[in-house]
Amino acid sequence: MSILETDGSRLLAAVAVLLDRKGLVSDEAIRERIALTDAAEPAQGARMVARAWTDPDFRAAMLADGTQAAESLGIMMRGMPPLGVLENTAAVHHLVVCTLCSCYPRAVLGYPPFWYKSASFRARAVRNPRELLASEWKTIVPASVKLRVVDSTADYRWMVLPLRPAGTDGWDEARLAAIVREGDMIGVTCPVAA
């Protein structure tokens, strides 16, 4: 046993061998999924947001089925939990959290930021989301706007379709995608025209 080999890594390797032998998940499929997740980045989600802002048909399709919409833009969703898309409007703002652990829309945003996994974020997002957003991100959700906190789970992943910011009329998709940040798609921040 090498110095780097932990109980966890040995258990993981053993489970992978069992899944492969039983024909449930091949070693190759696991490697493929890991490579896809390693390569995933928020720019993929930003591309979906920019398309939704400029194409009403895509926006409707994305709200109806996030998985299919992502696949239509060439984002590989096979083997991932379904993706749901929550639309922010003038009346409602969404905040995504995994209260249990760190479930995140990895296929479209990549690995979650460290704060997303913290006990502090998970607890405060539920107890007092307005205070959390204001103090940690300077995001002020007015009292007139409903704040919906949505739990991401192992069975269903959520991303936010943020409001298109003022001052972006006539911008093309690439320019719009460039201003969409990771936090905008989780609901901790809102896009601003850069």
* Residue whose pair of structure tokens reads 């390569």 in the numeric block: 39
Residue 98 in the binding site for Fe ion (CB under 5 A): yes
Give the CA-trace dihedral at 13, 17, 23, 24, to 10 degrees: -20
Stretch in the footprint of Fe ion (CB under 5 A) among 12-20, 63-71, 91-99, 117-125: 91-99
Residue nearest to Fe ion (CB): 103
DSSP state of 180: -
Among 26, 101, 120, 135, the active-site one is: 101
Radius of gyration of the chain (CA): 18
CA proximity to 149, closest of 167, 165, 131, 136: 131
9 is catalytic: no
Active site annotation includes 101: yes
Q: Is 102 annotated in the active site? A: yes
Tokens 């957003």: give the residue: 133
Does position 101 bind Fe ion by CB under 5 A? yes
Among 103, 108, 125, 133, binds Fe ion (CB under 5 A): 103
In the annotation, is 152 catalytic?
no
Q: Please give the positions annotated as active site.
A: 98, 101-103
Enumerate binding residues for Fe ion (CB under 5 A): 98, 100-103
